[in-house]
């Protein structure tokens, strides 16, 4: 049986565990787990005999007025969920037990009369019932006195299932003592000693879950007592029910052990990655990389850890730690101070020629603004000092007027995976756009999301959008030609850049960075030569991260395909191949 054989591989994806439990139950209630058992126990009475016993017991209880008579139809064999062994029988839930719901209690009455009692029946509400094998919470502080007869009682061994709301059909459990319970739960008083654990196995199976959902009605979503009692129930002989329960418990135990191992394995990898990346950030980068690289494919097997690796690479880059060896080998490179002086001189010349206006001076960068130490040849500069001489960092069109043919205008939603998608670009009325000429786009401009859930994401303007514009939710950063624009983007994309933007957000309804604050952002600048080396190294490392992510995706797809193959085997194929 492929599903059972591939347990270990399937549990490599932690999310598969619950689905595997459902498939085990599906196999169980189809009789597939007990085929060998039936071959060894050929003299067991068939379920048809059990049904006759159930019928007689039910009629006696109705005669004694212990339960009321209900109108449950016969089974339509053309509508049963699947084929069952010859010794089994199809019934309806209302045939194998008496179904009833509990009683609601007003909140104020619950708190004033039933809370904190030392004696009585535990009162079980929907919130106290878990999923499948989760335990029921009996210690919720609510008890119903034994002498209050107006409350219905679910006896020890009864199976509860939620009948209404988001948890309908999902929350279920077997009570280990007599309890009172809420009106959004159904209990079943089973006949002829049918195993409650087998009933719960049916409830948890895929086929039953699907039938339950199809029978739900109403806005909130719920199933009436009659509809629930009419659902089909695959009934094996009592002895086989016991065998099924034992096999399911054994498989669940094995599955849970594998699940624990998977979680432990993932946690150990995450701990190693966290430790290794911390060492990268604090120790000698060359040595740390040398020790880490052999373990990349072994430990970076989750997208979350690869994300941390990306972030570490970017942070090391902007701190100059990826190029420590390069600087030692190139001591005569012009320092960043000369580069910044050149940028400053260009702007001053244009101001002198009255081609641009003099900007309001920003305060010098104080020690308490510096987030980390820079190499000696680097310099701190505020973001606004790094633009093209004729440009300033600002946001785009306020209240654009959209037209079918006008100025292409980039929104945050057009910035996808680091690029600008042209597929859904909208167009602004040229008369409206011309009022925002300061944000007319040039090829190579860096765009930055300034607010919303994707605050801080970036993209470069491609040639096709030259002459276009942006909305008020996007910043335009025209980077000075003396700088490497990819290096500047690396700074914005780094954990430092992203945290700076989030730390300067204003407004609770739509968090966003103030453009004035962004202009003040301190950026560590190396020489242009070192910027280019940094970009090259970052691209190499991030390309490797891409390879790791593709390997993770391929592995995930393989496991998901295996799971689909198992699903097909359970529901369509020959389970005994």
User: Comparing C-alpha atoms, which of 107, 173, 105, 180 is closest to residue 143?
Assistant: 180
Secondary structure class of 115 (helix, strand, coil) = strand
How far, in Å, CA of 6 to CA of 286, rounded? 41
31 dihedral zone (left: phi>0; alpha: psi -120 to 50; beta): left
Structure confidence at residue 440 (pLDDT): 95
User: Comparing C-alpha atoms, which of 217, 215, 209 is closest to residue 228?
Assistant: 215
How far, in Å, CA of 346 to CA of 380, rounded? 19
Task: Give the best-scoring range by mean pLDDT among 24-28, 107-111, 478-482.
Answer: 478-482
Structure confidence at residue 2 (pLDDT): 47
Residue pair 33/27 in contact by the 8 Å Cβ criterion = yes
Dig out the tokens for 446 from the structure. 């860096």
* DSSP H or E stretch at residue 98: strand 97-101
Bridge partner residues of 513 (DSSP): 505
Q: Which residues contact 106 (CB under 8 A, 6 or more apart)?
A: none
Least confidently predicted of 114-118, 248-252, 426-430? 248-252
Secondary structure of 292-335 in the HEC alphabet?
A: HHHHHHHHCCCHHHHHHHHHHHHHHHHCCCCCHHHHHHCCCCCC
Does residue 156 belong to any structural domain of this protein?
A: yes
User: Residue 309 — very low, low, confident or very high, per pLDDT cuts 50/70/90?
Assistant: confident
- Total domains in the chain come to 2
Does residue 290 belong to any structural domain of this protein?
A: no
Least confidently predicted of 134-143, 245-254, 339-348? 245-254
Structure confidence at residue 559 (pLDDT): 57
- Other beta carbons within 10 angstroms of residue 501's beta carbon come to 24
Dig out the tokens for 502 from the structure. 């989030």
Query: What average pLDDT score do residues 120-131 get?
Result: 94
Question: What is the percent of the chain where pLDDT is above 70?
Answer: 85
More confident call, 127 vs 250: 127
Domain, as residue range, for 194: 45-236
Query: What average pLDDT score do residues 49-53 get?
Result: 92
Among 178, 206, 236, the domain boundary falls at 236
* Phi and psi torsions of 533, nearest 5°: -65, -40
Structure confidence at residue 575 (pLDDT): 40
Query: What average pLDDT score do residues 502-522 get?
Result: 77
Among 205, 236, 267, the domain boundary falls at 236
Query: What average pLDDT score do residues 470-494 get?
Result: 96
Query: What average pLDDT score do residues 280-289 get?
Result: 60
Does residue 456 belong to any structural domain of this protein?
A: yes
How far, in Å, CA of 574 to CA of 577, rounded? 6
Query: What average pLDDT score do residues 122-145 get?
Result: 92
Among 236, 264, 289, the domain boundary falls at 236
Does residue 300 belong to any structural domain of this protein?
A: no
The whole-model pTM stands at 0.62
Does residue 71 belong to any structural domain of this protein?
A: yes
Does residue 533 belong to any structural domain of this protein?
A: no
Does residue 322 belong to any structural domain of this protein?
A: no
Residue pair 50/191 in contact by the 8 Å Cβ criterion = no
Structure confidence at residue 576 (pLDDT): 40
How far, in Å, CA of 133 to CA of 188, rounded? 17
User: Comparing C-alpha atoms, which of 375, 282, 372 is closest to residue 323?
Assistant: 375
Q: What is the CATH number of the domain that holds 93?
A: 3.90.220.20
Per this entry, what is the length of the chain?
577
More confident call, 226 vs 354: 226
User: Residue 380 — very low, low, confident or very high, per pLDDT cuts 50/70/90?
Assistant: very high
How far, in Å, CA of 418 to CA of 493, rounded? 10
Buried b (16+ CB within 10 A) or exposed e, 147-159: eeeebebbeebbb
User: Comparing C-alpha atoms, which of 120, 108, 240, 128 is closest to residue 179?
Assistant: 120
Structure confidence at residue 574 (pLDDT): 44
Q: Tens of pLDDT along 227-249?
A: 999 999 999 999 999 999 998 88
* Phi and psi torsions of 509, nearest 5°: -65, -45
CA distances to 217, 387, 480 from 363, in Å: 66, 17, 21
Does residue 106 belong to any structural domain of this protein?
A: yes
Task: Give the best-scoring range by mean pLDDT among 144-158, 275-289, 495-509.
Answer: 144-158
Q: Tens of pLDDT along 7-42?
A: 555 555 556 667 778 778 888 898 988 988 999 999
Secondary structure class of 419 (helix, strand, coil) = strand
Structure confidence at residue 505 (pLDDT): 57
* Most distant CA atoms of the chain, gap in Å: 108
Q: What is the dihedral of CA 134, 138, 141, 142, to 10 degrees?
A: 110
Q: Tens of pLDDT along 63-88?
A: 888 888 888 888 999 999 999 999 99
User: Residue 577 — very low, low, confident or very high, per pLDDT cuts 50/70/90?
Assistant: very low
Residues 231 and 366 in one domain: no
């Amino acid at each position: 049986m492929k599903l059972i054989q591939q347990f270990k591989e399937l549990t490599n994806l932690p999310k598969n565990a619950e689905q595997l439990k459902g498939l085990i139950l599906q196999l169980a209630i189809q009789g597939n787990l007990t085929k060998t058992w039936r071959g060894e126990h050929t003299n067991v009475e068939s379920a048809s005999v059990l049904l006759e016993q159930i019928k007689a017991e039910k009629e006696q209880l109705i005669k004694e007025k212990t339960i009321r008579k209900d109108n449950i139809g016969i089974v339509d064999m053309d509508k049963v969920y699947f084929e069952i062994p010859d010794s089994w029988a199809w019934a309806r839930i209302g045939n194998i037990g008496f179904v009833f719901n509990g009683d609601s209690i007003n909140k104020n009455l619950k708190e004033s009369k039933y809370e904190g009692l030392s004696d009585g029946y535990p009162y079980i509400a929907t919130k106290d019932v878990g999923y499948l094998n989760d335990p029921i919470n009996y210690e919720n502080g609510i008890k119903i006195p034994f002498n209050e007869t107006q409350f219905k009682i679910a006896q020890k061994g009864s199976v509860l299932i939620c009948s209404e709301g988001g948890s309908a059909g999902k929350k279920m459990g077997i009570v280990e003592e007599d309890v009172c319970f809420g009106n959004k739960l159904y209990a079943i008083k089973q006949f002829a000693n049918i195993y409650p654990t087998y009933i719960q196995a049916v409830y948890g199976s895929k086929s039953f879950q699907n039938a339950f959902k199809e029978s739900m009605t109403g806005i909130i979503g719920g199933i009436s007592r009659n509809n629930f009692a009419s659902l089909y129930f695959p009934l094996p002989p009592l002895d086989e029910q016991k065998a099924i329960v034992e096999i399911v418990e054994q498989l669940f135990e094995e599955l849970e052990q594998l699940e624990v191992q998977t979680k432990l394995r993932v946690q150990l990898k995450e701990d190693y990655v966290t430790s290794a990346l911390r060492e990268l950030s604090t120790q000698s980068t060359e040595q740390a990389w040398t020790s880490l690289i052999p373990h990349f494919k072994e430990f970076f097997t989750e997208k979350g850890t690869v994300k941390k690796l990306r972030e570490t690479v970017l942070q090391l880059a902007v701190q100059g730690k990826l190029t420590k060896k390069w600087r030692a080998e190139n001591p005569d490179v012009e320092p960043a101070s000369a580069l910044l002086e050149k940028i400053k001189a260009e702007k001053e010349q244009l101001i002198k020629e009255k081609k641009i206006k003099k900007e309001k001076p920003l305060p010098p960068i104080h020690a308490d603004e510096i987030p980390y130490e820079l190499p000696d040849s680097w310099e701190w500069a505020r973001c606004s000092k790094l633009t093209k001489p004729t440009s300033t960092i600002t946001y785009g069109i306020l209240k654009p007027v959209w037209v079918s043919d006008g100025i292409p205008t980039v929104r945050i939603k057009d910035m996808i995976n680091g690029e600008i998608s042209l597929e859904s670009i909208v167009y602004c009325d040229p008369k409206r756009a011309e009022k925002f000429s300061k944000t007319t786009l040039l090829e190579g401009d860096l765009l930055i999301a300034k607010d919303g859930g994707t605050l801080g994401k970036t993209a470069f303007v491609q040639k096709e959008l030259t002459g276009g514009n942006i909305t008020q939710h996007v910043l335009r950063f025209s980077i000075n030609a003396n700088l490497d624009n990819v290096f500047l983007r690396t700074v914005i994309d780094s954990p430092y850049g992203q945290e700076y933007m989030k730390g300067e957000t204003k407004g609770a309804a739509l968090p966003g960075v103030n453009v004035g604050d962004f202009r003040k952002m301190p950026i560590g600048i190396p020489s242009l030569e070192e910027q280019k080396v940094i970009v090259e190294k970052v691209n190499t490392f991030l390309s490797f991260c891409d390879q790791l992510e593709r390997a993770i995706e391929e592995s995930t797809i393989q496991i998901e395909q295996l799971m689909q193959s198992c699903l097909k085997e359970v529901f369509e194929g020959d389970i005994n191949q």
